[in-house]
Structure 1
């Protein structure tokens, strides 16, 4: 579904991403993990066609991005960025409707309104519909932008992909888990998602595979049980940890310290 080979990225003579091969198959939820400065967000932006460097090639649904129709592509892929505009003088409903802009020119259809209502339900933002966006808390704004990208991909296309850069920032425990459950539901329908995360235990619980980065290099790319080992995590994060098994989910459980 998404293939990238020998991806590198340099900025100001600094090597941010160093020759990474990557593949995401249909229906996979892949976590991108690593310490600060590992290159997680940069790599995600390259895969999402936001950062470009000569020689890099990313294939999405058997086509390079440059071969896609620019009006059609947003109906197949969407990206949530960690740095969203915090000053938007619109009501919440209208901000979420921005995700439907690829579908209409002047006035939204009933399908567009239904997509917004669906995404609001999935992000617990229904009660905020008529609130001014600028009056919301940080966590509420985060959920509004998550709803926006969900609304963007609410269509009948198959094999869609979501790129999510630290989507759990500012969210409480309830909304973190509910959103990841939605993403799991999204991928269970044959779509795919790439998520930059900092919480290793949530990655262990929800992802199918983990790409672990350190200083722009791929450390490993495998199932959570093979990536989240005491030796690998202690080395990559330069901090001691203990590995056990979550007694409820049976996933790996990492305890630092």
Structure 2
């Protein structure tokens, strides 16, 4: 799905990302974790081609990323950002409909509206249709934008890529897990998701592999059981931790302090 070789990103001659190398396969849910300032969101922005970078190789679905036309990319890839404007003068279903913009020139059709309703139902935002955006809580806005990116990737193209920057912000516990289940189902259809997460326990439970970032570099990229060790996490996060196993599913549980 993605092949990156020696990706670097500098601002004022300072590396914010340095020597990033990785290969991500289709059907994977990859969690990007690490302390504040490690480069997680910056890396996701590079994958989304939102900021300039230097690289020896960047292939998306076996083609150089520059091979794609601008109008093609939104059909293959969608990005969920952690920051959204609070001043959006649209109805809430119209915000979700923005995900369908790549598919029509003048007016949406019946299928577009059906897809919008489908994902508003799945993200439990359908009841918000007649409320204004300003009236919504932070968590409701998060789920609304999640519906928008899923709506964007509702098409017949195979092997789609979903980029999510801290999608669990402002969500209560139930909606955190429901959101990760939606993302997991998406990847189980041969799609791929790169997700920036702060909760290591949720990352351990849902991710196929983890990218642990530290000081603008990839500290380790592997399955959760190999990445999440007591020594490594205590050193990277600069805080002591203990690792045990969940009594039900045996996933790793990280306890800081």
Give the TM-score normalised by the residue count of structure 2.
0.98
Backbone CA RMSD of aligned residues? 1.0
* Mapped partners of 1:96, 1:183: distance in 2: 17
Aligned residue in 2 for 1:44:
44
Cα distance in structure 1, aligned partners of 2:8 and 2:37: 15
Question: Counterpart in 2 of 1:223?
Answer: 223
Q: In the alignment, is the contact (CA less than 8 A) between 2:9 and 2:54 conserved in 1?
A: no
- Post-superposition shift, 1:56? 5.1
Query: Residue 120 in 1 paired to residue 120 in 2?
Result: yes
Q: How many correspondences in the alignment?
A: 257
Structure-2 residue corresponding to 1:25: 25
Deviations 1:133-178 (A, max 9, x none): 1211111111111111010001111100100000100111111100
Q: Which residue of 1 aligns with 2:171?
A: 171
- Counterpart of 1:15? 15
Contact 1:122/1:179, CA 8 A, preserved across alignment:
no
Paired with 1:55 and 1:200, the residues of 2 have a C-alpha distance of 29
Q: Secondary structure at the residue paired with 1:255?
A: strand
**Secondary structure at the counterpart of residue 30 of structure 2:** strand
- Runs of 5+ consecutive residues of structure 2 not aligned to the other structure: none
Q: Say if 2:115 and 2:154, in contact at 8 Å, map to a contact too.
A: yes
- Ranges of 4+ aligned residues in structure 1 off by more than 3 Å: 54-57
State the partner residue of 2:65.
Answer: 65
1:200-251 C-alpha deviation (Å, 9 max, x unpaired):
0000000000000101011100000100111111111010011000112210
Aligned-partner SS, 1:119: helix
Distance between the aligned counterparts of 2:91 and 2:32, measured in 1?
33
Whole-Å separation in 1 of the counterparts to 2:64 and 2:210: 24
**CA distance change for structure 1 residues 135 and 204 in 2, over 3 Å: closer, same or farther?**
same
**Which residue number corresponds to residue 78 of structure 1?**
78
Which runs of no fewer than 5 residues in structure 1 stay unpaired?
A: none
Q: CA deviation at 1:253?
A: 0.4
Change (3 A) 1:56 1:141: farther
- Alpha-carbon distance, 1:86 to partner: 1.4
Counterpart position of 1:212: 212
Match of 1:190 in 2: 190
Listed one character per residue, the Cα deviations across residues 162-200 of structure 1 (whole Å, up to 9, x for unaligned) are 000001001111111000000000000110000000000
Shift of 1:37: 0.4
d(CA) in 1 for partners of 2:55, 2:181? 36
The 1:176/1:56 distance shift into structure 2, 3 A limit, reads farther
1:138 alignment counterpart: 138
> Is 132-141 or 161-170 further displaced after alignment?
132-141
What is the CA distance between 1:117 and its match in structure 2?
A: 1.1
